[in-house]
Structure 1
Amino acid sequence: MIPKEKIDRDGDHRDAVIEGHFPSTSRMFLNFLGCLLAIPVYYFSTVHSRYPVTLDIVITIALTELNRYIVERRRADFARSEQQLAEETRSWNEKEEWSPVHLETQPLSAAPRLECLAAVVGWREDPALYTRALESYKSARTCAFFLAGIDGDEAEDQDMVTVFSQVFPDHSAVIHVPEPLGEVAERIRDKTLAIQRQQGQSINVAEAEAVAMQTCLNLARTILNQHNIQIGTPNGIRQLCLKQRHMHKKGIMFTAYVFSLIIADILGIEFMWSSDSDTIVFPDSLEQTINSIASDPKAGGASSGLVVHNSRETAVTSLASAVYWGELYLTRSTPACTGTSDCQSGPSTAFRLAALPAILVPWYLQVAFGKRMIVNEDRHLTTNLLLRGWNVIFASDTLAATDTPTTMARWLKQQVRWARATHIESLLRPKVYILSHPLLFYGMVKREFGPAIGAFAVMWYFFTSHMFITISVMDFVYRIMISSAYNFLRNPHRLTQKDLVWTVPGVFFYYIPLPAVQIYSMLTMAADGWGTSMRASGDMERAKRESRRKAWFELGFFVVWMSIVAGVIAKALTSYYGFVWHERMAATLVAMGAAGFAAWKITIGAQ
């Protein structure tokens, strides 16, 4: 265990660093001007460009390469610092006057810092998949402690506990948390605010959140002591499973993160890896992600790229895999080169633990539209880091493997959930753009308004038969050719011939529904839930009995949208070939009916 005086000294150092993160007034003014400039830049690069889609992919690829160069430079800086530390340690050993007192005077930051704690959360995961996920951490480098969080304590949740005990039979323990720590934090915060009002004090929300956080930390330490959990000793616990009453993903994440802070404090660990119960890590996933931020005290978090480990399961998973390694790999890189990645993906995220205590309570208690939000856990964590001046890195050349939905219905539900979180964080937190590089704002404009403009253009042509924006077929052809060539040559996920077959279909699979997903998710931003159904066998049968009304509410937008898209294509083709009006009308109606039925069949009808 680290001596208390060293922890205190390091804590003071971290507080000083946190305060120094915020940009100066002049810098914030320049950021504001940059945001204003980003709007006309985006407008002229799209509306007044002959090949806007091609130009966009060229810019995106350039920023992706720049981000990879910067990440490699960060790793090189860390390697140099490690080498320098090794040389200094060797010189100490060569001195006759060396003593433990000499080592004690060295700053804590000189200690090796790359070890991390891994926190993995889930809810009624498929046992076979959960087993594969946990097994992968046995070979993960730099993982010094493993913490599993299970969102449920009923009989049906015991399968995950059993898997944990089978994968980690030695040096492991299971703890039932009597009350979710998120509820404890909420109660203590409200009580502290009430006391402030009763005593006539000025309301200090930050102080109330700090009190709530400290109470949760004390409670977590007490629970570990009550269960006689020995950590950091030769025969101590190295894997711990926490289970609590079922709430939601945010609830179990909060509890797991609080326990992680206590355990990391005991072990002297500076970083935490956070992931989901369906994610499989590679031996270098944790190490390569963490060493991209290890040498930068201003870096509060990082995330790796993602590939799909069940890509051969269905046609939908094959298409989704092409989206992950192609489209998402590129789009996530847009603002990342400036240290302002706007989403640390839930399955593959690393945090500097010093950044978490100040943000966990406000993150957990987030309110939007007068309602507690539980669907945007990863994006809101990232936003809180950026609002407090931390850099957030995207280590795009490092990979972890996640599970993707196997049906079109579940894929669309996942995309809608992600889009809701994106809207909430992008549109309701404007302060983050003043504190961050203007490229973050540019990426937001492109992501939020690009699909919306596309949806408007399609609807405009459908109702008026006039084009809102000029569309060039060759523009899309060039774009697909350039992105495919780049991914084949430079994507960190080495592609096979089978992967290449899905490249072009994957582009249409992602971008055709995207405008509808964008608009529908904007209209339903306050909806909540885990976003995907539980995958344990008994619960799968229960999920199949979902009502038709609910299915239409969740997926009806896709049926309507595909009908409109088919109608637009039919109108354009019949107009090009000179059909008379009644022939154009008949072709449009037939196309809309066929497309609508097909969309219904693969989504609502399939359930």
Structure 2
Amino acid sequence: MMDSFQDVPGPQVVTKGRHTTLLRMAMNVIGCLISIPAYWAITVHCHYPVTLDLVFTILLTELNRLVNEGRRIQFYEEDSPEPLLPPRDEGYGSYSSTPYDEKNMSFMESQIVPQSRLDSMAAVVGWREDPALFTRALESYKNAKHCTFMLVGIDGDDVADRDMVDVFNIVFPTQSKVIHVPQPLGEVAEQFLAKHIAICKQNGQPINMEECHDIAMRHCFQLARTIIEQEGVNLSSVRHICLRQRHMHKKGIMFTTFVFALVIADVLGIEFLWSSDSDTLVLPNSIHKTVDAIAQDPTIGGASSGLIVHNGHETAVTNLAATVYWGELYLTRSSPAFTATSDCQSGPSTVFRLAALPAILIPWYLQTLLGKRMIINEDRHLTTNLLKRGWGVVFASDVLAATDTPTTMARWLKQQVRWARATHIESLLQPKVYLITHPLLFYSMSKRELGPLIALIATLWYFFTGEQLIIVFIADLFVRVVASALYNLLRNPHRLERASLKWIIPGMFFYHIPLPGVHVWSLLTLTADGWGTSMRNNSEMAKKDSVRQAWWETGFFVGWMAVVAGCVARWLATYYELSSGELLLAMVVSSAAAAAVAWRLTIYQMS
């Protein structure tokens, strides 16, 4: 196989998407400056500001769906790809029935031709996943239309990590290969980059970081090609590759997997990469319907689909979380998306235009915050890097994939805090993004960052003083809750089962009541990190946190619920005109009871 890549120059590095003129930047800044005051002026003169905000969000959500469908129609009219093909033996098309002769055929892009521009490669990464869930996840790709190649990245090569390799071999017994990567390619890129910069400094040469990143990426491409050749991988027949490397973190295995994906896709002529997690199931249309939402516009670098929860009936927490995905996340993620400025591509259901990846992978991998390497915000920082380079990012809200959600309150809170940290980092510390993107992104960011903070301040103020900083109209909240539920029932692409309808209203409280506490605690602990949600195999699930660690991760929830319960007690005591002593007693008892319940649901279970 040494001749297979001889004439292949490697993936093309495209550094920019759309060009943003100075005039456009100026208009974006003006739009950012006037968007929040204008919205404030409208809402303060309205008795239903929460409902008005919902109406505006619904209009943006509908507009996003309309724009996405317009791109699809234009794509099919202009490119006329071949009709969707039914899944084959293992869900992957075969490119040719002609016997392969490696002496007479090199893997040139013009010689291995995709059946359609919608053909994509899938990359799934994970670490110590539950074998049964991982099996279901991989099996789902067998029915995924236009998924022509499968890459699996396993972040670990110890004995405990063999379960995932065994699952891969069982699900894909043929046309498959397991490759051990001797050194994580992220480390290789970092070491090569440091060496190249040192040589430039020693020789007195100017340092162009983009050029250095380009050289380091090409080195990684060459190394990946060499590993593939040494493993004797025949890309005309192999359709599933499992990559194993020493355990690092999610960014580490994603970097390695993406590099291999770029090399292989360049050989196969594939334009798009579907990126997902080991706990996520794809539906037959998940991949190609996300791809066809961006295929027509070469300036769009990425997209993500909507998400539903496949374990929604497992516990009360999963039932509640399923309604959060169904309602709240569907609406909030749709808001800026029609302008192709979605600021988060969900890790479980993301498509990348491969041409956009080479220039952003090293800056993404080497991100630092206050001098510390960041590994927690892999999804959002990839999106930020795309937006900063002019690439559009869209949200295909009418397409669904099914992900796993934590089954306990403690695990749910840890996940929410981790996501919130990434949101703060990318929203507040990347101001350049707002220069080159539509002001609607800045508006959405401001509402998302300021709303929970204001709610927390107002709640604490009322708890200690009894004075209301914000006047809340009960009728406004009621209309918002009812209108949101009705809209989702009518227009959300995910149709809830009848048994799930009773969880809709509780799910709204489940999401919004802890939100201010999650928001502020994550803001105060920006640099905390980890692989992500704790893994689900037996060895990982059996682990317990120390009491100190449990208090650090979820103690804020205990305190916040005490404050919320105290505020409710104060309001009821005031309403029924209790004496000051009775009011204080009611607040103390309510706060203590709420704190005890919160402690039982989180710290007690974790430690």
**CA distance, structure 2, for counterparts of residue 109 and residue 243 of structure 1:** 29
**Contact map agreement 1:193 1:204 (CA 8 A) in 2:** no
1:90 aligns to what? none
**CA distance, structure 2, for counterparts of residue 135 and residue 109 of structure 1:** 26
2:127 aligns to what? 123
2:66 aligns to what? 69
1:94 aligns to what? none
Pairing 1:39–2:36 present: yes
Pairing 1:150–2:154 present: yes
Q: TM-score if structure 2 supplies the norm length?
A: 0.92
Aligned pairs for 1:558-573 within 5 A: 558-573=557-572
User: Which of 18, 22, 25 is the equivalent residue of 1:21?
Assistant: 18
Give the residue type in structure 1 aligned to 2:571. Answer: A
Q: Give the CA deviation at 1:500.
A: 1.2
Aligned pairs for 1:474-553 within 5 A: 474-541=475-542, 543-544=543-544, 546-553=545-552
1:136 aligns to what? 140
User: Which of 164, 168, 174 is the equivalent residue of 1:170?
Assistant: 174
Q: C-alpha deviations, 1:364-420, integer Å up to 9, x for none? A: 000111100000000000000000000001000000000000000000000000000
**CA distance, structure 2, for counterparts of residue 110 and residue 493 of structure 1:** 31
Q: C-alpha deviations, 1:112-168, integer Å up to 9, x for none? A: 311000000000000000000000000000100000000000000000000000000
**CA distance, structure 1, for counterparts of residue 339 and residue 8 of structure 2:** 31
**CA distance, structure 2, for counterparts of residue 172 and residue 34 of structure 1:** 52
Residue identity over aligned pairs, in percent, reads 60
Q: TM-score if structure 1 supplies the norm length?
A: 0.92
Q: Give the CA deviation at 1:47.
A: 4.3
Q: In terms of mean alpha carbon deviation, does 389-398 or 459-468 score higher? A: 459-468
Distance 1:430 1:112, change over 3 A: same
Aligned pairs for 1:192-591 within 5 A: 192-231=196-235, 233=236, 236-541=237-542, 543-544=543-544, 546-591=545-590
**CA distance, structure 2, for counterparts of residue 42 and residue 553 of structure 1:** 37
Give the residue type in structure 1 aligned to 2:577. Answer: G
Aligned pairs for 1:36-115 within 5 A: 36-83=33-80, 112-115=116-119
2:103 aligns to what? none
SS in 2 for 1:332: helix
**CA distance, structure 2, for counterparts of residue 278 and residue 124 of structure 1:** 11
Give the residue type in structure 1 aligned to 2:152. Answer: A
Q: Give the CA deviation at 1:531.
A: 2.5
Q: C-alpha deviations, 1:570-590, integer Å up to 9, x for none? A: 101111111111111111111
Give the residue type in structure 2 aligned to 1:517. Answer: V
Distance 1:110 1:185, change over 3 A: closer
Q: Give the CA deviation at 1:20.
A: 6.1
Distance 1:178 1:405, change over 3 A: same
Q: C-alpha deviations, 1:77-115, integer Å up to 9, x for none? A: 1111233899xxxxxxxxxxxxxxxxx9x9x99983110
**Contact map agreement 2:11 2:263 (CA 8 A) in 1:** no
2:602 aligns to what? 603
Give the residue type in structure 2 aligned to 1:516. Answer: G
Distance 1:461 1:189, change over 3 A: same
Distance 1:5 1:350, change over 3 A: same
**CA distance, structure 2, for counterparts of residue 308 and residue 568 of structure 1:** 33
Q: Give the CA deviation at 1:606.
A: 1.9
Distance 1:599 1:110, change over 3 A: closer
Distance 1:598 1:47, change over 3 A: farther
**CA distance, structure 2, for counterparts of residue 27 and residue 187 of structure 1:** 39
**CA distance, structure 1, for counterparts of residue 307 and residue 174 of structure 2:** 31
Q: Give the CA deviation at 1:49.
A: 3.2
**CA distance, structure 2, for counterparts of residue 57 and residue 414 of structure 1:** 26
Q: Give the CA deviation at 1:8.
A: 7.5
**CA distance, structure 2, for counterparts of residue 110 and residue 219 of structure 1:** 25
**CA distance, structure 1, for counterparts of residue 307 and residue 295 of structure 2:** 21
Q: Give the CA deviation at 1:5.
A: 13
**CA distance, structure 1, for counterparts of residue 254 and residue 45 of structure 2:** 46
Q: Gaps (5+ residues) in structure 2?
A: 84-107
Q: Give the CA deviation at 1:197.
A: 1.1
**Contact map agreement 2:75 2:296 (CA 8 A) in 1:** yes
**Contact map agreement 1:47 1:469 (CA 8 A) in 2:** no
Q: Give the CA deviation at 1:330.
A: 0.3
Give the residue type in structure 1 aligned to 2:343. Answer: D
Q: C-alpha deviations, 1:530-568, integer Å up to 9, x for none? A: 222121112221x22x11011001110000000000001
**CA distance, structure 1, for counterparts of residue 23 and residue 483 of structure 2:** 39
**CA distance, structure 1, for counterparts of residue 377 and residue 357 of structure 2:** 17
Q: C-alpha deviations, 1:249-299, integer Å up to 9, x for none? A: 000000000000011011100000000000000000001000001111001
SS in 1 for 2:334: coil
SS in 2 for 1:534: coil
Count of matched residue positions in the alignment of Structure 1 and Structure 2: 579
**CA distance, structure 1, for counterparts of residue 220 and residue 334 of structure 2:** 36
Q: CA RMSD in A?
A: 2.2
Q: Give the CA deviation at 1:52.
A: 1.6
**CA distance, structure 2, for counterparts of residue 440 and residue 151 of structure 1:** 34
Distance 1:5 1:251, change over 3 A: closer
**CA distance, structure 1, for counterparts of residue 78 and residue 551 of structure 2:** 57
SS in 1 for 2:572: helix
**Contact map agreement 2:10 2:221 (CA 8 A) in 1:** no
Q: Give the CA deviation at 1:201.
A: 1.6
Give the residue type in structure 1 aligned to 2:127. Answer: W
SS in 1 for 2:605: coil
**CA distance, structure 2, for counterparts of residue 462 and residue 298 of structure 1:** 50
SS in 2 for 1:359: helix
**Contact map agreement 2:11 2:262 (CA 8 A) in 1:** no
**CA distance, structure 2, for counterparts of residue 170 and residue 110 of structure 1:** 21
Q: In terms of mean alpha carbon deviation, does 194-203 or 570-579 score higher? A: 194-203
SS in 2 for 1:606: helix
**Contact map agreement 1:273 1:351 (CA 8 A) in 2:** yes
SS in 1 for 2:422: helix
Q: Gaps (5+ residues) in structure 1?
A: 87-103
In terms of fraction of residues, the more helix-rich structure is 1
2:88 aligns to what? none
**Contact map agreement 1:85 1:110 (CA 8 A) in 2:** no
Q: Give the CA deviation at 1:211.
A: 1.2
Give the residue type in structure 2 aligned to 1:66. Answer: L
SS in 2 for 1:575: helix
**Contact map agreement 1:45 1:55 (CA 8 A) in 2:** no
**Contact map agreement 2:17 2:391 (CA 8 A) in 1:** no
**CA distance, structure 1, for counterparts of residue 7 and residue 455 of structure 2:** 56
